[in-house]
Structure 1
Amino acid sequence: MQATTVLIVEQDVLVRHPLAEYLRECGYRVMEATQHDEARECLEGGKHCIEVALIDVGGATGSGFALSAWIRSNYPTVKTMLGATVGKVLALAGDLCEEGPQAAKKLNYRPVLDHIRQLLATRKPPKITSRDTRAG
């Protein structure tokens, strides 16, 4: 049985890399993209059948919502998850107070893994399309 492929779209290497390594240790094949254009190339390349895309809500090159909508329109069998890191949320919250963010927490990726498993459990068998039959 072939490993499930997960695409992580996150500009911050300090966020993307540990999450990718964690998912690899759990048996997933992981592709990494720093920008939305790279994510599109991963999907359009057809080399791996991406089943789940983890997308940073903001991102430096545009809204994660827009990328998620594009994926759903062009690759409806790919499950998408939008998220933001604790650090980004705290940085934004820091703008609201004089002292800035005070919390420093160890990241727990278990909820991400559980959500990926839940998404995959509800998926329908993929339909074969001309896009899937390209030589690659």
Structure 2
Amino acid sequence: MDDAKAMETLMVVDGEVLIRTELSNYLRHCGYIVIEAASTDEAKTVLAKAQMSVDVVLCDADAPGEVNGFGFASWLRKEHPQIDIILAGTVDKAAQEAAKLCDDGPHLARPYDPTSVSDFIRQRLAQRDRNRKP
């Protein structure tokens, strides 16, 4: 397990329990701390009560809740701008819309395999770390 990754906390927001659980378990196996939420409402509650900082949220664009993944991403950027958001769309069009919402384009097309998600998250975190260095 990579010590650098062990310090990173991810949140997976997806209403489909099998997808959320499989992906979360794989990311834990990769050394990340993973918090799961079944809806955008639950994700907001968890973020409000979190005892640790969350580095990246991976959210299904069609996540259930008062707002969908796109609305959640807008809320997250306003309320927690330090947290990276990656939206996952069921079809390429949804992924393209997610890219428009997230200025720097963090989006994934579903279906995806856990390895590609882990690689994508690793790249996003590395880019974030490079941008933070003076």
Q: TM class, shorter-chain normalised?
A: 0.7 to 0.9
Give the structure 2 partner of residue 122 of structure 1.
127
Aligned pair in 2 of structure 1 residues 17, 74: CA closer, same or farther (>3 Å)?
A: same
Q: In the alignment, does 2:7 pair up with 1:31? A: no
Alignment correspondent of 2:59: 55
Aligned residues: 107
4+ aligned runs moved over 4 Å, structure 1: none
Deviation at 1:84, TM superposition (A): 3.0
1:108 to 113, 116, 126: 113
Instruction: Using the aligned pairs only, state the percent identity.
Output: 36
Structure 1 counterpart of 2:87, which letter?
L
Give 1:85 deviation, angstroms: 4.6
Q: Secondary structure at the match of 1:122?
A: helix
Partner Cα separation in structure 2 for residue 49 and residue 81 of structure 1: 16
Is the Cα contact below 8 Å between 1:15 and 1:85 reproduced in 2?
no
Structure 2 residues not aligned, in runs of 5+: 95-110
> Where does structure 1 lack aligned partners over 5 or more consecutive residues?
90-105, 126-136
Give me the CA root mean square deviation. Answer: 2.0
Please name the residue that 1:75 is paired with. 80
Aligned equivalents of 1:48, 1:35: Cα separation in 2 = 20
Of 9, 13, 24, the residue aligned with 2:13 is: 9
Q: Which has the higher helix share?
A: 2
Higher relative contact order (CA 8 A, sep 6+): 1
Larger CA deviation: 106-115 vs 40-49:
106-115
Query: Normalized against structure 1, the TM-score is what?
Result: 0.71
